[in-house]
Chains A and B, each alone.
Chain A
Amino acid sequence: MLKVAVLLSIGRHPASGRPRRAPLDARALELALRLPGAEIHAVHAGDPAEPVLRDYLGMGLDRLTVLEIPAGSDPVPALVAHLKALSPDLILAGRCAEGGEDSGMLPYLVAQGLGAALLPDVADLSAGEGTATLTQALPRGRRRQAEARFPLVVSVHPAAPEPRQSAFARARRGLVEAVAASAPQDGFIGECEIRPWRPRPKRLRLAAGGSALERLKAATETKSGQGQVLVRPTADEAARAIYEYLVEQRVIGTS
């Protein structure tokens, strides 16, 4: 039977800052739940008392293993040790957590620790004998298919199917299994200075070939669209203006 581990973390809602199921991890779990006949092991490294963990149980899991580690410590060694013992074929995780360092490193470190292959940005997958066939989501809606050998770590892309709703009653009934684990303190975060994010003007993309100054100007402007209005132009004028604009915005190519 296909053995699948899903790595779940706690997300943080961007508006309220309150904990929630991390959107990409929930998608990872959704993909796992859709694999026919898979034996699913859901794992979280952190605090087993966190109520939001139950939201994952509400998606239809009977149990969830929590490797109990102190807040602010590095979850990777504990996860790797646990997964080594479990030796799953497939390990699914969101490609980036929400609410922590959000570096997107975890799947890579786990793959490295296990000596497993890794495929990023997966939107869909099916499992065969010893391999999986995966669909990767690329920028601008493009897709790529690939095959990869087990053991395989897969990082899940936002284009993966929406996670199913978490049902209150199932969440209440599911089992959170705490397992003691050790974790080194994470020194790197301590070296960083952390403060609230202040939005800053984003550089505008400008057609190459502009002068340095134009690019500089672009670098300092948040929005150049001045709401230009053409009132009752002829159809051709309108067409030309729209076309130029699309070219300028690089939505349609010039080459």
Chain B
Amino acid sequence: MIATALSSLILATLAAGAVLALQHARRWRAGQPAGVDIVAGLKALPGRYLVDVHHVVARKSFNARFHALTAGGFLASLPLLVLAAVPALRGWLLWGLLALALAVMLGGALMVGYRRRVEKPAELSQGRFKRLPYALLAYAAAFLVVALDQLAGGVLPWPLALAFVLAGAWGGAELILGVGRGPLKHALNGALHLVAHPRPARFHDRAGRDTGLRPADLEAPKLGSERPLDFAWNRLLGFDACVQCGRCEVACPAYAADLPLNPKKLIQDLVTAMDTAADGERRTDASYAGHNHPGRPIGLAQGGAALPLVGPGAMIHPDTLWACTTCRACVQECPMMIEHVDAVIDLRRFQTLELGATPAKAAAVLEELRVTDNPGGKPLARRTDWAVDLNLPLLAEKGQCDVLLWLGDGAFDLRVQRSLRALVGLMRRAGIDFAVLGEEELDSGDVARRLGDEATFQDLARRNIATLSRYRFGRIVTADPHALHVIRNEYPSFGGHWTVTHHTAFLLELVESGKLTLKGPTGGSVTYHDPCYLGRYNGEIEAPRRLLDAIGLQRVEMERSGLRSSCCGGGGGAPLTDVAGKRRIPDVRMDHARATGAERVAVACPTCTLMLEGVVGQRPAVAEISELVLEAVA
């Protein structure tokens, strides 16, 4: 009798869960169509879960362990409970296996309880999430007692046994019904998201990295996303997979500087908005029980699936949208493989292209870009003003060269010119056959694209590609990771395919091949700040470090480095939108650098140079890697 009650309750819960999940799925299925290879996705699913997701989760080994125990035990217990519905199978083997599975799960559940109730990391959400450890414990412990009791032949008096069954069933209902909207979203939505992920190439079974933005069709009736329903269905599914783990919140540089942006809340804003029926119903964010966007009260934001997402009184405040530096730290940390940056860019595209609502100086810079092809509105001929004495060879005059040096817009800035001079000096010493485009080089389009101005980006990209296609050269070398990313990862969609090398990798080659000889250790300590667009966007974190080691500097790492480095605040047009917070992002990053005690911060990006040099007060000196190498060459 107890066994029947047990299995029928579970079957009923599963059935109810299935109905709920189907109903729930309607919300994301209402999104725009997307070409998804479901079969390939399904095949790749186990691998993606066990490799890619595990890889992220395992950055916290405790979490990986309790996930394995809890999920393993739970998933094993479910079929056993279902089998218990067949009286013929009810034997010691079934009960024994069930007890084992539940015991394993109980271990995991206790760990979850420890984490949520004792450690209490601040980034975790409360509300529905608070009940999770109780539900896990109830399910595992109560059913364990029932299984053991059955194994022993039913020694408990039946009312007591039934009470255990009911307690366990409550836990089970919490968990299974929570698959739709609660803590266990990852079980279903997470898995489906892995199947239908908008960027399958980011998984280990494909290229392993996919960071370039997708081109927008400028002929489309609506450009960018205005409402939740304007996103493709698999993107909505992705948002709906968020388990509010808060890893993105911890990683976000804007959040750290108290700018009004919390990526976890951003995703939850989207989820809350899509939760409504598509007929213009409104819903506020009052049910959200985590940290909000800094400086903004909970309960004021409101929106719906068919309502505009961005606006002062809408779900997402414009300041939140424009505070993002597109640094991808959130994407890097998200165990659900959610693509926050894509969402931000889609929303920005609508704001810029449809509404003309790019804030602060950004709008004026976009206008200058359109008319002068550089963000400062300067004559393009002045890009090489700093090098009049260096006689930079022009590709137009040489016709061909081994290395095309892409100068970038940093070349208009006095500070950056210093590091470019160092780089040119090193290339001359190494006898490199190089040239520059001079007046023919236009802005790469990076800033325009991150600010949502896809039209200006595409125009610049097409014209740059046309220019580059006219010449013969071996590869492009640039000191600007933003230009590198755009040319390497985003120009291919427009027919531009070139090998682009970052100057740190290039200088390392020169040192390792002996073309540049070093004086021997120069001494002094240095900490290296990874540019987001080189590290996370392109996975290049080794070359600059090896270069610093080669010149004999004592290298110390900051609290965040490599792929998990923290942004300088300069990406995504953030210096132009200039959203105010309590602090500035570079000040936070400089704190990390100060904490290492290093004498200098080595940077490998013109934007990082400017952002970090803008920090006032006592701080390590900021040195571009080319400058450090130039100091060290014999």
Interface residues of A, Cβ cutoff 8 Å to B: 13, 15-16, 18-20, 58-60, 162, 164-170
Q: Mark B330-373, 1 if CB is under 8 A from A, else 0.
A: 00000000000000000000001111111000011011001111
Q: Please determine whether A169 and B371 come into contact, CB atoms closer than 8 angstroms.
A: no
Q: Please determine whether B372 and A165 come into contact, CB atoms closer than 8 angstroms.
A: no
Q: Please determine whether A168 and B379 come into contact, CB atoms closer than 8 angstroms.
A: no
Measured in the bound complex, the distance between the Cα atoms of B370 and A166 in whole Å is 11
Q: Please determine whether A170 and B356 come into contact, CB atoms closer than 8 angstroms.
A: yes
Partner of B367, one of A19, A60, A165: A165
Could you list some 22 contacts between A and B, CB below 8 A?
A13-B371, A13-B372, A15-B377, A15-B379, A16-B371, A16-B379, A18-B371, A18-B372, A59-B356, A60-B356, A165-B352, A165-B357, A165-B367, A167-B354, A167-B355, A168-B218, A168-B352, A168-B453, A168-B455, A169-B222, A169-B223, A169-B354
Measured in the bound complex, the distance between the Cα atoms of B359 and A162 in whole Å is 12
Measured in the bound complex, the distance between the Cα atoms of B352 and A165 in whole Å is 9
Q: Closest residue to B362 on the A side, CB-wise?
A: A165
Chain A residues near B26 (CB, 8 Å)? none
Q: Closest residue to A19 on the B side, CB-wise?
A: B371
Partner of B366, one of A18, A20, A60, A165: A165
Q: Mark B27-42, 1 if CB is under 8 A from A, else 0.
A: 0000000000000000
Q: Please determine whether B354 and A170 come into contact, CB atoms closer than 8 angstroms.
A: yes
Measured in the bound complex, the distance between the Cα atoms of B590 and A80 in whole Å is 62
Q: Please determine whether A167 and B356 come into contact, CB atoms closer than 8 angstroms.
A: yes
Q: Is B378 an interface residue (CB 8 A)?
A: yes
Interface residues on B, range: 20 to 34
Q: Please determine whether B363 and A165 come into contact, CB atoms closer than 8 angstroms.
A: yes
Partner of A164, one of B218, B354, B356, B366: B356
Chain A residues near B222 (CB, 8 Å)? 169
Q: Please determine whether B353 and A168 come into contact, CB atoms closer than 8 angstroms.
A: yes
Chain B residues near A60 (CB, 8 Å)? 356
Measured in the bound complex, the distance between the Cα atoms of B379 and A20 in whole Å is 15
In the complex, besides A59-B356, A169-B223, A170-B354, 4 extra interface pairs with C-beta distance below 8 angstroms are A16-B372, A58-B356, A167-B354, A168-B354
Report B594 CB to chain A, min CB distance, Å: 31
Chain A residues near B357 (CB, 8 Å)? 165, 167
Report A11 CB to chain B, min CB distance, Å: 9
Q: Closest residue to A166 on the B side, CB-wise?
A: B356
Measured in the bound complex, the distance between the Cα atoms of B277 and A159 in whole Å is 47
Q: Mark B193-237, 1 if CB is under 8 A from A, else 0.
A: 000000000000000000000000010001100000000000000
Count of chain A to chain B residue pairs whose CB atoms are closer than 8 Å in the complex: 52
Q: CB within 8 Å of A: which of B372-430?
A: 372-373, 377-380
- Given A15-B372, A16-B373, verify A169-B367 contact (CB < 8 Å): no
Q: Please determine whether A169 and B353 come into contact, CB atoms closer than 8 angstroms.
A: yes
Measured in the bound complex, the distance between the Cα atoms of B354 and A60 in whole Å is 10
Chain B residues near A59 (CB, 8 Å)? 356
Chain B residues near A166 (CB, 8 Å)? 356, 367
Measured in the bound complex, the distance between the Cα atoms of B370 and A169 in whole Å is 15
Measured in the bound complex, the distance between the Cα atoms of B371 and A162 in whole Å is 18
Measured in the bound complex, the distance between the Cα atoms of B223 and A168 in whole Å is 9
Chain A residues near B353 (CB, 8 Å)? 167-169
Chain A residues near B363 (CB, 8 Å)? 165
Q: Please determine whether B356 and A20 come into contact, CB atoms closer than 8 angstroms.
A: no
Measured in the bound complex, the distance between the Cα atoms of B357 and A213 in whole Å is 56
Q: Please determine whether A165 and B356 come into contact, CB atoms closer than 8 angstroms.
A: yes
Chain B residues near A162 (CB, 8 Å)? 364
Q: Closest residue to B376 on the A side, CB-wise?
A: A15
Measured in the bound complex, the distance between the Cα atoms of B355 and A169 in whole Å is 8
Report B454 CB to chain A, min CB distance, Å: 8
Q: Closest residue to A26 on the B side, CB-wise?
A: B367
Measured in the bound complex, the distance between the Cα atoms of B377 and A16 in whole Å is 8
Measured in the bound complex, the distance between the Cα atoms of B497 and A244 in whole Å is 63
Chain B CB within 10 A, most for which of A13, A15, A18, A20 = A15
Measured in the bound complex, the distance between the Cα atoms of B352 and A169 in whole Å is 9
Q: Closest residue to A59 on the B side, CB-wise?
A: B356
Partner of B371, one of A20, A58, A164, A168: A20
Q: Please determine whether B377 and A167 come into contact, CB atoms closer than 8 angstroms.
A: no
Report A91 CB to chain B, min CB distance, Å: 25
Q: Closest residue to B354 on the A side, CB-wise?
A: A169
Measured in the bound complex, the distance between the Cα atoms of B223 and A16 in whole Å is 29
Chain A residues near B453 (CB, 8 Å)? 168
Chain A residues near B371 (CB, 8 Å)? 13, 16, 18-20
Chain B residues near A15 (CB, 8 Å)? 372, 377-379
Q: Closest residue to A11 on the B side, CB-wise?
A: B371
Q: Mark B116-134, 1 if CB is under 8 A from A, else 0.
A: 0000000000000000000
Chain A residues near B355 (CB, 8 Å)? 167
Measured in the bound complex, the distance between the Cα atoms of B354 and A58 in whole Å is 9
Q: 8 tightest A-B contacts by CB?
A: A167-B356, A165-B356, A165-B363, A16-B372, A168-B455, A168-B353, A13-B371, A169-B354
Q: Closest residue to B366 on the A side, CB-wise?
A: A165
Measured in the bound complex, the distance between the Cα atoms of B370 and A162 in whole Å is 18
Measured in the bound complex, the distance between the Cα atoms of B453 and A166 in whole Å is 11
Chain B residues near A169 (CB, 8 Å)? 222-223, 353-354
Chain B residues near A20 (CB, 8 Å)? 367, 370-371
Chain A CB within 10 A, most for which of B352, B367, B453 = B367
Report A19 CB to chain B, min CB distance, Å: 8
Report A73 CB to chain B, min CB distance, Å: 25
Measured in the bound complex, the distance between the Cα atoms of B358 and A169 in whole Å is 14
Chain A residues near B364 (CB, 8 Å)? 162
Q: Mark B424-460, 1 if CB is under 8 A from A, else 0.
A: 0000000000000000000000000000010100000
Q: Please determine whether A167 and B352 come into contact, CB atoms closer than 8 angstroms.
A: yes
Chain B residues near A165 (CB, 8 Å)? 352, 356-358, 363, 366-367
Chain B residues near A170 (CB, 8 Å)? 354, 356
Chain B residues near A16 (CB, 8 Å)? 371-373, 377, 379-380
Measured in the bound complex, the distance between the Cα atoms of B380 and A162 in whole Å is 26
Q: Closest residue to B363 on the A side, CB-wise?
A: A165
Chain A residues near B366 (CB, 8 Å)? 165
Measured in the bound complex, the distance between the Cα atoms of B372 and A19 in whole Å is 10
Q: Closest residue to B224 on the A side, CB-wise?
A: A169
Measured in the bound complex, the distance between the Cα atoms of B371 and A19 in whole Å is 7
Q: Closest residue to A13 on the B side, CB-wise?
A: B371
Report A57 CB to chain B, min CB distance, Å: 11
Chain B residues near A167 (CB, 8 Å)? 352-357
Report B116 CB to chain A, min CB distance, Å: 46
Q: Please determine whether B356 and A13 come into contact, CB atoms closer than 8 angstroms.
A: no
Measured in the bound complex, the distance between the Cα atoms of B355 and A206 in whole Å is 50
Q: Closest residue to A23 on the B side, CB-wise?
A: B367
Measured in the bound complex, the distance between the Cα atoms of B222 and A22 in whole Å is 28
Measured in the bound complex, the distance between the Cα atoms of B357 and A162 in whole Å is 13
Report B383 CB to chain A, min CB distance, Å: 12
Measured in the bound complex, the distance between the Cα atoms of B356 and A45 in whole Å is 26
Report A14 CB to chain B, min CB distance, Å: 8
Chain A residues near B352 (CB, 8 Å)? 165, 167-168
Report A69 CB to chain B, min CB distance, Å: 24
Q: CB within 8 Å of A: which of B487-522?
A: none
Chain B residues near A19 (CB, 8 Å)? 371
Report A160 CB to chain B, min CB distance, Å: 15
Measured in the bound complex, the distance between the Cα atoms of B370 and A16 in whole Å is 10
Q: Please determine whether B377 and A13 come into contact, CB atoms closer than 8 angstroms.
A: yes
